[in-house]
Amino acid sequence: MGILSGFDRLVFRGHLRQLCYPQGMMTYLLYKQILLKNFTDHAQSMTAQLKAAVTSIAEKKGRPVLYLESGRISKEEKAKEIMHRDGIKDGLVCVFTALEPCQSFDIYRNRKEKKLQLVSRRRKCLHIYQYWCDPIFGFMNARIQTWFPFNIQICINGREWLSKQMDKKGILYLRKDNCFPRINNVERAQKLMDKQCDVNWPNELGRIADRLNPARKKMFGDFNVAYYWSAFQSEWATDVMFKDKASLDAIYSSLVHYGMTTFQSPDIMRFLGHKLSPTGKINGHFEGEVVSDLKNRHEGVRIKHRIDGNGIKLYNKQDTILRAETTINEAEGFKVYRPKQSGDARERHWLPMRRGIADLKRRTEVSQAANNRYLDALAIVDVPVPVKSLVQDILKPTTINDQRVRAINPWAESDARLLESVMRGEFTINGFRNRDLRPLLFDQTDSKDEKRRQSGKVSRSLRMLRAHGLIKKVPHTHRYHVTNKGRAIITALIAARNADANKLANIAA
């Protein structure tokens, strides 16, 4: 019925960078003329101001402030219970406080040097959680630790946010949990989700931070501090909306079985945009862990593939939603085309993605590309025709510009290698060129004549793939992309080449 892609869960963290390390904290204490022996009293005074400001606002609005003794209590469920009980449609819902671990500061008495030292260490302190019905983001929450350096965490749900957008635009929808089995106008809803990527995050997160700690300016006075924002975790989901439960159930078990039995570690790395060796294997310098697992959850059956802190998963939600979701916790595993931190702003390079919100747009691009690669690889499972019918056209000669082009032989090693090369994950976003394919298809050489010969061979191969409709040229460039038709055919051929002959014989029998 439609496809909807966008943010699911977004977790931001805010840090007062000047105060996050001992030397910066010492600079603050020196500016405020606070001795180390008085640090504890000063910190307690700042904590008291924060707690009093939040409690005062909650009392004025008539909202409850509750201390939660156990970490097993679901704060979100309790907040929703209060919201529904009190009929809150806008503004503050409730305030929770809880004693939790944090990274903070303490005074260490160095007996050897006979002096006090400020040290950073893990400790416990009171955290304040606030839940709101925000006019922009809808139901959301944020927390702040009440001891230096007053770190913040903000949680937003993209589907909750979309529901607020659709309400304002008058788009009718059916919502269950954090997905939409029915939307009156999916195309308009997708455009609204696309706009979420263009929000002014520093302004919006700063607005939430001011509500979370309304006493910050009074607490710090003329010492200028501002939060630095990073995307701690992002979940980008692509929902394929089916008409009814039976339609999804008819294919879902096959998708799960295919994902668990067919996808190998190199496939998972390709889905998540990692480069492989020219032979399609994992590079020798890779030291991470690739894991796939299957789990039965209350929402449905979930298959998950993970590379260290990042992963991609597939699950069925609310009976009619097939969701592919890319989760990024370690942004450094991806690349972004940007200037160096202290270099010339006009010179751009492919550099590790930053966790800061400056690279959030790029994060959405690589997440969508990962979802696309994963769903495209699974799409062959639902093709209701034999592989023979799917690929029979490429097994015959064809023409391009009235010139004859030979058939493709997927069982020949050279053609198989060509097809696998153009399907590599690093080419999905930016496409590929003649020079990108040469090292994948031929041995390296320093001979100019040999390089020219290899380039000519690749050009003829690209012409053959274009003639059969497997790739298309990007206008005004030397780059090519695999077409939807090409992706389905090549995926089927790769699966057929890697299939176990005994299993195929049993199926045929």
Indicate whether 257 and 363 sit together in one domain.
yes
The pLDDT, as a whole number, for residue 230 is 96
The pLDDT, as a whole number, for residue 257 is 84
Determine how many CB atoms are found less than 10 A away from the CB of residue 493.
23
Indicate whether 350 and 405 sit together in one domain.
no
Mean pLDDT of 124-128: 95
Mean pLDDT of 446-462: 93
* Residue 118 confidence (pLDDT) above 60: yes
* Residue 382 confidence (pLDDT) above 60: no
Structural domain includes residue 367: yes
Query: How does residue 35 score in pLDDT terms, banded at 50, 70 and 90?
Result: very high
- According to the 3-state scheme, what is the secondary structure of 109-161? EECCCCEEEEEEEEEEEEEEEEEEEECCCEEEEEEEECCCCCCEEEEEEHHHH
* Residue 281 confidence (pLDDT) above 80: no
Boundary of a domain, candidates 355, 382, 409: 382
Indicate whether 410 and 377 sit together in one domain.
no
Structural domain includes residue 412: yes
The pLDDT, as a whole number, for residue 249 is 87
The pairing of beta strand 173-176 with beta strand 179-183? antiparallel
d(CA 312, CA 323) in angstroms, rounded, equals 10
Mean pLDDT of 444-448: 88
Indicate whether 377 and 403 sit together in one domain.
no
CA 410, 413, 419: angle at the middle one, nearest 5? Answer: 50
Mean pLDDT of 33-55: 95
Indicate whether 43 and 133 sit together in one domain.
yes
Comparing 140-144, 199-203, 331-335, which segment has the lowest mean pLDDT? 331-335
d(CA 51, CA 182) in angstroms, rounded, equals 43
Show the tokens assigned to 311: 């992963």
Structural domain includes residue 47: yes
Output the domain CATH number for residue 401. Answer: 1.10.10
Mean pLDDT of 36-45: 94
d(CA 100, CA 392) in angstroms, rounded, equals 63
* Residue 429 confidence (pLDDT) above 90: no
Taking Cα atoms as reference points, which of 20, 40, 31 lies closest to residue 116?
40
Structural domain includes residue 228: no
Indicate whether 358 and 420 sit together in one domain.
no
Query: How does residue 261 score in pLDDT terms, banded at 50, 70 and 90?
Result: confident
Residue 472 C-beta-side C-alpha neighbours within 13 Å: 8
What stretches of 380-482 show up as alpha helix (H) in DSSP? 387-391, 413-422, 434-441, 448-467
Report in angstroms the alpha-carbon separations of 282 from 272, 288, 289, 397. Answer: 13, 11, 11, 35
Structural domain includes residue 172: no
Q: Average pLDDT, whole number, for the chain?
A: 90
Mean pLDDT of 313-336: 92
* Residue 31 confidence (pLDDT) above 50: yes
Structural domain includes residue 274: yes
Contacts (Cβ under 8 Å, ≥6 apart) of 96: 65, 66, 67, 68, 75, 78, 79, 128, 129, 131
* Residue 131 confidence (pLDDT) above 90: yes
Indicate whether 456 and 407 sit together in one domain.
yes
d(CA 103, CA 125) in angstroms, rounded, equals 9
- Tell me if residue 355 falls in helix, strand or coil: coil
Q: Domain containing 307: what range? A: 242-382
Query: How does residue 383 score in pLDDT terms, banded at 50, 70 and 90?
Result: very low
Query: How does residue 425 score in pLDDT terms, banded at 50, 70 and 90?
Result: confident
Taking Cα atoms as reference points, which of 326, 370, 378 lies closest to residue 487?
378
Indicate whether 203 and 58 sit together in one domain.
yes
Identity (one letter) of the amino acid at 116? L
* Residue 140 confidence (pLDDT) above 90: yes
d(CA 375, CA 379) in angstroms, rounded, equals 6
Residue 228 pairs in a beta bridge with 15
Comparing 160-169, 353-362, 386-395, which segment has the lowest mean pLDDT? 386-395
* CB 100 within 8 Å of CB 71: yes
CA 111, 113, 117: angle at the middle one, nearest 5? Answer: 80
- DSSP class of residue 37? G
* Residue 160 confidence (pLDDT) above 90: yes
Indicate whether 393 and 378 sit together in one domain.
no
pLDDT digits (tens, 9 = 90+) for 213-247: 999 999 999 998 999 999 999 999 999 999 999 88
pLDDT: which is higher, 13 or 445: 13
Mean pLDDT of 74-87: 95
Taking Cα atoms as reference points, which of 432, 303, 426 lies closest to residue 375?
303
Show the tokens assigned to 453: 């010969």
Show the tokens assigned to 19: 């105060």
- DSSP class of residue 243? S
The pLDDT, as a whole number, for residue 347 is 87
The pLDDT, as a whole number, for residue 384 is 52
* CB 270 within 8 Å of CB 227: no
Indicate whether 389 and 370 sit together in one domain.
no
- Tell me if residue 10 falls in helix, strand or coil: strand
Boundary of a domain, candidates 330, 359, 382: 382
Structural domain includes residue 404: yes
Query: How does residue 506 score in pLDDT terms, banded at 50, 70 and 90?
Result: low
Backbone phi, psi, residue 461, to 5°: -65, -40
* CB 179 within 8 Å of CB 159: yes
The pLDDT, as a whole number, for residue 369 is 94
Determine how many CB atoms are found less than 10 A away from the CB of residue 259.
22
- Tell me if residue 398 falls in helix, strand or coil: strand
Indicate whether 218 and 253 sit together in one domain.
no
Boundary of a domain, candidates 382, 410, 435: 382
Determine how many CB atoms are found less than 10 A away from the CB of residue 301.
15
Mean pLDDT of 17-37: 93
CA 52, 72, 13: angle at the middle one, nearest 5? Answer: 55
DSSP-based helix, strand, coil % in the chain, nearest 5: 45, 30, 30
Structural domain includes residue 371: yes
| Proportion of the chain above pLDDT 70, given as a percent | 96
pTM of the predicted structure, to 2 decimals: 0.74
Mean pLDDT of 132-148: 96
Domains: count for the chain: 3
Indicate whether 378 and 263 sit together in one domain.
yes
d(CA 491, CA 497) in angstroms, rounded, equals 10
Determine how many CB atoms are found less than 10 A away from the CB of residue 77.
9
The pLDDT, as a whole number, for residue 201 is 95
The pairing of beta strand 65-67 with beta strand 91-110? parallel
* Residue 50 confidence (pLDDT) above 80: yes
Using the structure block, give the residue that is written with the tokens 């014989």. 505
